[in-house]
Structure 1
Amino acid sequence: MTDAVIVRYALTGGPFGTTDGRAAVYELQERLTAALAGLDVGELDGNEFGGDQVAVYLYGPDADRLYDAVEPVLRSLPHRPARATLRYGEAGDPDAVRYEIDLDTGRAEPPPARPKPGRRRKIVAAEGDVFRIPLDGVRSVYGQVVAKHDYWTLVVVFDALSLDAVDGADILLLANTFEDCLADGEWPIVERRAVRADVPWPVYKFWGSTTPPVIVDHFGRVFREATPEEARTLPSRSQTTANAVTDAARAAFGVGEWDDSYDEFLPDDKATVARVIGS
């Protein structure tokens, strides 16, 4: 599934929107899944909240057929402004062409010609895959896929500039992300090995439609209601782009400046399943 339909909706009430606004997006995803059932035109791959907007990702073999199948559902979400990007080809394909559609006014420009056949296949990463993130053209840092569930991919980045150093290295970063850089080969997979026992499995608060929020793990499994203190201090469960993880990894090794937003990728031993749930 190399083509994509990526829809971005504006959010109000903060960078991640309001509780009701997020709930409307989750309901939209359920309706998209239902609309695609049995059509064989593509699938929903998840969302990304942040920066006063949410992006919804869909992938399929033909962006036009995929968009035609879900257009009425996409227009039904009232969040505006909203634009859909149709991408013909993989994210890392230099020959991939794109055009945008305003969900209120129609297509922004005529559809471009389809790319030539022979595009690269999407790489499907698996739990345990060790990958490298290029830092500066010479050095690479190593990471691992430690868990996968639906469209969620939990990765860690080790304090390791060589594959041999991975086993004994500290875990520098931990993030729930998309598979973009893995699927497109920007994070080359070098081998598969067992996930280390010392991964600090994270917990989050999740509001959804419940009050108070509940505590969930990286898979979204619900443990219990959050206490008022946990509701105040635990991070919210969300996904980040693989590019943001790349930028954070580079900054950690002196390639670029560290941004405060990268702090969310730092492992927090106070927000783990072992610490909060006790198992």
Structure 2
Amino acid sequence: MGDEYVSPAQIVADYKHAIYLAVYERVARSREGLLGAIVNLEVVLLGLTFDALIENGDWSPLGATEVPEGVPLPAYREAVGFPPKTFVVDHSGRRRRLATHEEELLLPTRKMVAPIRIERALRALYGFGEWSPKYDSLLPSKILTSAETFP
């Protein structure tokens, strides 16, 4: 969010060469205590992205900690074959099953977003920029989760 504010985020899962990044609800002026607070915080943004801003030092790690229970990892739809059949696929790509008609309509296809989109969405979420509809897919409330689709 810039040099004067920090917000805790965590790599909560991976998919091939990409990462699922969860951003938690706190914004602070100091990094102190943020890592330990993650377990008690709500996820406000979640996206499949790549680690470019971590690798080049724009985002600096706070440390390592366990992924809290209940992180809303998404499920997706995939069309396979011809004529295509639609499947529900979990966030990891390892579990799949035929989709119901409702799931075909509700589930998105898997897509990656640039890390800067997550950063801009975070800024907008806290009033440091304008919210764009393209950020909506990063909101956990808009995600049908792997846990819901594979109970």
**Contact 2:38/2:68 (8 A) holds in 1:** no
* Equivalent residue in structure 1 for 2:62, among 190, 215, 221: 190
Q: How far, CA to CA, are the matches of 2:56 and 2:139 in structure 1? A: 25
Q: How far, CA to CA, are the matches of 1:202 and 1:227 in structure 2? A: 17
Structure 1 residue 241 corresponds to structure 2 residue 107: no
Runs of 4+ in 1 over 6 A off after TM superposition: none
State the identity as a percent: 30
What is the CA deviation profile of residues 24-59 of structure 1, one whole-angstrom value per residue up to 9, with x for unaligned ones?
xxxxxxxxxxxxxxxxxxxxxxxxxxxxxxxxxxxx
Relative to total residues, which structure has the larger strand share, 1 or 2? 1
- In structure 2, give the amino acid aligned to 1:153: I
The 5 Å alignment of 1:12-161 reads: 135-161=1-27
Which structure has the larger Rg? 1
Question: Given the two structures, how large is their TM-score scaled by the length of structure 2?
Answer: 0.87
Structural RMSD (CA) = 1.7
**Contact 2:8/2:24 (8 A) holds in 1:** yes
List gaps (5 residues or longer) in structure 1: 1-134
Residue 45 of structure 1 aligns with which residue? none
Structure 1 residue 204 corresponds to structure 2 residue 76: yes
**Contact 2:9/2:22 (8 A) holds in 1:** yes
Q: How far, CA to CA, are the matches of 1:178 and 1:256 in structure 2? A: 23
Q: How far, CA to CA, are the matches of 1:195 and 1:176 in structure 2? A: 16
- In structure 2, give the amino acid aligned to 1:146: V
Residues 191 and 270 of structure 1, relative CA distance in 2, 3 Å threshold: closer
Residue 130 of structure 2 aligns with which residue? 257
Residues 157 and 273 of structure 1, relative CA distance in 2, 3 Å threshold: same
Q: How far, CA to CA, are the matches of 1:179 and 1:274 in structure 2? A: 25
Deviation at 1:209, TM superposition (A): 4.0
Deviation at 1:274, TM superposition (A): 2.0
Secondary structure at the counterpart of residue 97 of structure 2: strand
Deviation at 1:145, TM superposition (A): 0.3
The 5 Å alignment of 1:216-227 reads: 216-227=89-100
Q: How far, CA to CA, are the matches of 1:152 and 1:209 in structure 2? A: 25
What is the CA deviation profile of residues 72-107 of structure 1, one whole-angstrom value per residue up to 9, with x for unaligned ones?
xxxxxxxxxxxxxxxxxxxxxxxxxxxxxxxxxxxx
Deviation at 1:208, TM superposition (A): 4.6
Deviation at 1:277, TM superposition (A): 1.7
Residue 232 of structure 1 aligns with which residue? 105
- In structure 2, give the amino acid aligned to 1:204: Y
What is the CA deviation profile of residues 192-224 of structure 1, one whole-angstrom value per residue up to 9, with x for unaligned ones?
001111211211111254622211122222420
